[in-house]
Amino acid sequence: MAEFIYYIVCISLFGLVFGSFLNCMAMRIVRKEDFVKGRSHCMECGHELSAADLIPVFSYVFSRGKCRYCGKKISIRYPLAELTFMLLSIILFLHTGTDWITFFKEWILTGCLFAIALTDLESYEIPDMLLIVSLISWICFSVLEFILGISSIKFIIQSILTGLLFGAAILIISLVMDKLLKKDSLGGGDIKLFALLGVYLGFAKTYELIILSCILGLIFAFLRKKIDKSASQEFPLGPAIAASAYILLIVGDAVTAWYLTLL
């Protein structure tokens, strides 16, 4: 029990810190700023932040949601993003347990999906960099799993073919819909994201991913229109795809087993 609590505390802290980084990275990507170099600064006055200003959640609470230098209100997005990723990390650990290879493989993917959702939500763009990081991570962990005898060459090839198959299928469907609707029906970033997730999830879960993404996308679009009547008809699908992928990482096996009972 003590060991379990220790893991939860560590993962919670890592989740908060990594969530803070991902949120900052997404905001800088949207603003075309370098997220690797440069000190963190207030988005209102530009003042560089000290270490005391960068403690996830606690800095926001202690400063009462205001910048210590200019007094302007700090967006609630900061603590919400940090707490959300902490929760996602904990749920993922409860799912994988101490299978650390699976945990870190899916944790890195979850981090990239989280940043993709934040970026696409604000800029309607999915950065190729995040897709590349996810792919490199999959390659590295796949090689490690092969070396340890956890995975096989056949499984790795099947995963790659699944990604290529679904990526090509989504691309063809998108091109057909573009012709019929006479406008872009799906962004290139969404197509590449589906292909990437096909590599991670496998055939059955990727099929479920497409269905669930469409459902969540429609719900998101409906709620967005209800909240903001002036919102445009276009909406980012990235957050729906990212949320669907995370859900399937956690309960995908159970969903697939249930679906097979219906056949």
Cα 221 to chain center, whole Å? Answer: 19
Do residues 242 and 215 share a domain?
yes
Query: How many structural domains is the chain composed of?
Result: 2
Range of the domain at 13: 1-98
Do residues 48 and 137 share a domain?
no
State the DSSP string of 91-120.
HHHHHHTT-HHHHHHHHHHHHHHHHHHHHH
The one-character DSSP state at 228 is -
Do residues 116 and 213 share a domain?
yes
| 155-180 residue pLDDT tens | 999 999 999 999 999 999 888 887 88
Handedness of CA 164, 165, 168, 174 (dihedral sign): negative
pLDDT of residue 103: 96
Rg (Cα) of the chain, in Å, rounded? 20
Percent of the chain with pLDDT over 70: 92
Q: What is the pTM of this model?
A: 0.92
Average pLDDT value for the chain: 88
Handedness of CA 143, 147, 151, 156 (dihedral sign): positive
Do residues 79 and 201 share a domain?
no
Instruction: Tell which wins on pLDDT, 247 or 30.
Output: 247
Cα 99 to chain center, whole Å? Answer: 21
CA angle 240–245–247, rounded 5-degree value = 95
Q: What are phi and psi of 48, to 5 degrees?
A: -65, 140
Residue 233 has pLDDT above 70, yes or no: no
Helix axes 188-201, 238-261, angle to 10 degrees: 40
Do residues 117 and 145 share a domain?
yes
pLDDT of residue 18: 95
Instruction: Tell which wins on pLDDT, 46 or 125.
Output: 125
Task: For residue 12, give both structure tokens.
Answer: 């919670």
| 95-145 residue pLDDT tens | 999 999 999 999 999 999 999 999 998 888 999 999 999 999 999 999 999
Calpha distance 121→237 (Å, rounded): 8
Do residues 105 and 185 share a domain?
yes
| 181-229 residue pLDDT tens | 777 777 888 999 999 999 999 999 999 999 999 999 989 888 877 777 6
Nearest residue to 67 via CA among 91, 82, 85, 48? 48
Do residues 114 and 201 share a domain?
yes
State the DSSP string of 165-180.
HHHHHHHHHHHHHHHH
pLDDT of residue 118: 95
